[in-house]
Chains A and B, each alone.
Chain A
Amino acid sequence: MSKFVISSLFKLSSLAVAVASVGLIATTFADDKAAAPNDPQIAMIAVVADTVDVDAGKLAGDRSHDAAVKEFAALMVRDHSAVNEKATALVKKLGVTPEESETSKSLKAGGDAEIAKLKTLDGAAFDKAYVDNEVTYHQTVLDALDKTLIPNAKNAELKALLESVRPVIAAHLDHAKMVQASLNK
């Protein structure tokens, strides 16, 4: 098989993974309309959502050579690690054991797929894919907070934590869009 054919097949498969991972993340929270998550499931969703973005941020910090992308990635690692620390401390305080759900599993699967896709890219293609996904991801998480997680949280402290997380996610979304615009110039 020629190098061109192999390269093309590789690129096509990466594109397929990219489409699948974005679609997976976008539909993940939509599935929860059928069954509202309980507090242990909400706690797990929050922790997984943060961990997914920390992992992507660490990869971007290592792989990107763009200053704005690296700065954004470092912010994702810093902020989502801090939120995870608070979430973990809260569930421990409340004696809640985070519980897996189809949502948390889908989130993790989507995150793993995104990491796998990003690892096949480098340079400007990597930066664009990473930032584009961050815009989509943060919009999806913001929608989930507003429509599913905050409304369904029963414990007052858990709800308050989620309400405090919301402006963080909104700020991240705005920042991601700024970086996205700068890459598209």
Chain B
Amino acid sequence: MTSESSSTPRAGLLWPIVACGGAILVAVAAVIILWTHTGTRDDTAAEPDAPSLVVVSMKNMQFDPAAATVRKGGTVEWRNDDLVPHTVTAAGRFESGPVPAGQTWRRTFADAGTFSYVCSFHLHMKASVVVK
């Protein structure tokens, strides 16, 4: 009887303690989740991977897209969808030679960086490849 009368206050305290503990655990978890996904964007924020193959269309006397992004070790394929021959020329780095209408030219980029290039035939055609 004494034990029965003495256990009632303990049982009454148990659930509040459990509830508080659970609430604390939930709060800590929420803080951790928020911190990892919003606090530090510089190197831990998730970004889509750059593609390993990108197609650049040469059409209407333009490179499209004008700035193509590809993964390091990836490949860019230039496709001549125009009526006239074009080139893909980055002086000292890469040179496709004349790419006739309907033909393609590919290059694999082993190093990261930004590579500007032009069509050596048509002076205003300029674009770049960003390798990440």
Contacts and interface: CB of A to CB of B under 8 A. Distances in A.
Give chain A's interface residue range (CB within 8 Å of chain B). 10 to 19
A82 B123 contact: no
Most buried by B among A78, A86, A164: A164
Nearest to B122: A171
B121 A82 contact: no
B122 A82 contact: no
Interface in A58-83: 75, 78-79, 82-83
A171 B124 contact: yes
Contacts of A78: 84-85, 121
A174 interface: yes
B53 interface: no
Give chain B's interface residue range (CB within 8 Å of chain A). 10 to 19
A168 interface: yes
Contacts, number: 39
B83 A178 contact: no
The secondary structure that dominates the B interface is loop
Interface string B54-74: 000000111000000000000
B90 interface: no
Contacts of A83: 83-84
Nearest to A80: B84
Contact of B61 (A75, A161, A167): A167
A171 B61 contact: yes
Interface of B: 60-62, 82-85, 100-101, 121-124
Interface of A: 75, 78-79, 82-83, 86, 161, 164-165, 167-168, 170-171, 174-175, 178
28 contacts: A75-B122, A78-B84, A78-B85, A78-B121, A79-B83, A79-B85, A79-B121, A82-B83, A82-B84, A82-B85, A82-B100, A83-B83, A83-B84, A86-B101, A164-B60, A165-B83, A167-B60, A167-B61, A168-B61, A168-B82, A168-B84, A170-B61, A171-B122, A171-B124, A174-B124, A175-B122, A175-B123, A178-B123
